[in-house]
Amino acid sequence: MSADFSIRPAGAPVAAPAVEPASGATRQAVSTHLPPAKAVIAAEPARPARNDPLADDSRLSRQMAIDRDAAAIVYKVVDARTGYVVRQYPDDARLRSLAYLRAQDMARRDEARHDTDITA
């Protein structure tokens, strides 16, 4: 087995297209320069709008609470100015499902206690 190799072009060489000079109509066209008062200028790019409620941390407060029904710790980010909850973990749907499952477990435990015959 040989370690030397060479790379050769495959196929025929491609000819570069020739650039044609501007047509006669283009050379005779009317100039489109406008006076500065009538010229249209591109506006300066504006700062992009941010739809990020966590961008301004100064008005946000972080809170922690215990949801007794779901037996879970709830972390919240609250907008201090409006009082709205910006983020919450776990979310409300998860807390409701945890509370429901916990209530089901408690009901099963209560039934198991009542079914036990302790008389001898």
Tens place of pLDDT per residue across the chain (120 aa)? 556 666 666 666 667 777 776 677 777 777 777 777 777 777 777 777 777 655 667 788 899 999 998 889 999 998 888 889 889 999 999 999 999 999 999 888 887 776 666 676
Which of 50, 91, 47, 53 has its CA nearest to residue 72?
91
Residue 104 in domain = yes
Residue 85 in domain = yes
Residue 7 in domain = no
Q: Which domain holds residue 79?
A: 57-120
Residue 45 in domain = no
Phi, psi angle pair for 54, to nearest 5°: -90, 5
Please state, in angstroms and rounded to a whole number, the distance separating the CA atoms of residues 84 and 111.
Answer: 41
Residue 84 in domain = yes
Question: What total of structural domains would you count in the chain?
Answer: 1
Phi, psi angle pair for 104, to nearest 5°: -65, -40
Residue 6 in domain = no
| Predicted pLDDT at 56 | 63
Residue 89 in domain = yes
